[in-house]
Amino acid sequence: MTNDILASHGYSTTDQQKLQETYRYLHANPELSMQETNTSKFLLGRLEELGLDAFLCGGTGVVGVLRNGPGPVVGFRADTDGLPIGENTGLEYASTAEGTLEDGTRVPVMHGCGHDTHMAVALAAAELLARSTGSWSGTVVFIFQPGEETAAGARAMLADGLWEKAPQPEVVYGQHVWPGVAGGLEISSGTAMAMADSWKVTVLGRQAHGSQPEKSIDPIVLGAHMIVRIQTILSREVPPRESAVVTVGTFHGGLKENIIPASAEFTLNVRTFEPAVRDQVLTALRRIITAEAAASGAPEPVIEEISSFPRCYNDPAATAEVTEQLRSALGEDNVRDVPPVMGSEDFGLLADAIGVPSVYWMFGSTLSERLNSETPVPGNHHPEFAPAPEPTLETGLTAALAAIRTRVGGAGA
């Protein structure tokens, strides 16, 4: 789908083949969050080959600085981590990699969220810009961020002095592949993605024989009451005009059917768009969990934070500017304005840390004939998630170049 912007950067059949090969390599070699050691070595080597000032940041994060004379500084972020999923795509380049979780569990690993696509596109954008320096001026900071899936990576890079080590940009761009129509792109102005908070709740009780329930405080029954009751936060406390989701994803308790256990455990996830609603829901969760325990005469539960994602906010002025260039590059009908989604990202932290705007968008990965079939299309985090390499990769590359060139020399030059 070579278009004007790719052609203007000398994009060739050889470049297309290299982009495909890079993508296939990264897809076949995923690593878990904050364990992206080999991935970072690969990225570092490729950036250094291109002549960028490249360095590690935040453990397994990689930064590549492309300097080309005076002008604006722009940040562009791609995430790098895979997921503990066993791939079932049947692709010849499918992942057979394994990794180890923090608790020591050995698991299969897959790029089930498309971060391989993001990295391949960002590397290709860096290469095309590095060899077309006569048509733009400024500095581009490529940020290859680890640990997006756990909300640890952006914080780790910032804690390691990202914006002391790299030039501070005036805007930060990012993008994500998803199972929309390949060749298309979706963007939101203002709030783009939700805040997300995950907790682990340990419900404490008193163990007893199953035949003597009067001697117990049953944490399974107690936990069940908590789980049912917390859904009333959405139906009876949050105003209908606001958006919020509370999901209980796991519940574990006991080892044998005739033993009432001493404890049970569940994990939950909260999604909200507005900070005030977030505070309301989290406060209500803690109140209900604690009160239900007290009503059962149980010890106070232990509540631990698993992760916390910030709101992903697209600066309206910067978004309007980028959207215009994206439509020019990809076609008016291929770029849609959409409402925010309940998915979450830690991308926004990178710009928020230095008080500059950011813009984030989604590009599709499914051929239209596949979308129009009766068979459901596997989405992100699914073992069969398999983006169609083309035109997905070239769409992402076009979007990346169009956004970056918005500030450093014109989108089409």
Q: Are 244 and 271 in contact (CB under 8 A)?
A: yes
Q: How many residues does the chain have?
A: 413
Residue 119 is predicted with a pLDDT of 98
Return the CATH number of the domain spanning residue range 4-193+311-407: 3.40.630.10
Q: What is the predicted pLDDT for the residue at 2?
A: 59
pLDDT at residue number 375: 87
Predicted local confidence at residue 371, as pLDDT? 87
Dist. CA 392–CA 1, nearest whole Å: 10
Cα–Cα distance list, 222 to 204, 206, 248, 297 (Å): 9, 11, 15, 10
**Model pLDDT, residue 37:** 98
User: Domain boundaries in the chain?
Assistant: 4-193+311-407, 195-309
3-class secondary-structure state, position 170: coil
Q: What per-residue confidence (pLDDT) applies to 373?
A: 83
Q: What local confidence, expressed as pLDDT, does residue 374 receive?
A: 83
Q: Where are the alpha helices (DSSP H) in 9-114?
A: 13-28, 37-49
Among residues 123, 121, 114, 41, the alpha carbon closest in space to that of 81 is found at 114
Q: From first to last of the 413 residues of the chain, give the pLDDT tens digit.
A: 558 899 999 999 999 999 999 999 999 999 999 999 999 999 999 999 999 999 999 999 999 999 999 999 999 999 999 999 999 999 999 999 999 999 899 999 999 999 999 999 999 999 999 999 999 999 999 999 999 999 999 999 999 999 999 999 999 999 999 999 999 999 999 999 999 999 999 999 999 999 999 999 999 999 999 999 999 999 999 999 999 999 999 999 999 999 999 999 999 999 999 999 999 999 999 999 999 999 999 999 999 999 999 999 999 999 999 999 999 999 999 999 999 999 999 999 999 999 999 999 999 999 998 888 888 999 999 999 999 999 999 999 999 999 999 999 854 44
Domain 195-309 fold is Alpha-Beta Plaits (3.30.70)
The two tokens of residue 1 are: 């789908």
Q: With the C-alpha atoms ordered 88, 92, 98, 101, is the resulting torsion angle positive or negative?
A: negative
State the residue for tokens 């050691």.
37
Rounded CA separation 250/270 (Å): 14
Residues 6+ apart with CB under 8 A from 325: 402, 403, 405, 406, 411
- Whether the CA torsion 178, 180, 183, 189 is positive or negative: it is negative
In whole angstroms, how far apart are CA 309 and each of 53, 341, 362?
Answer: 30, 14, 18
Same fold, 4-193+311-407 and 195-309: no
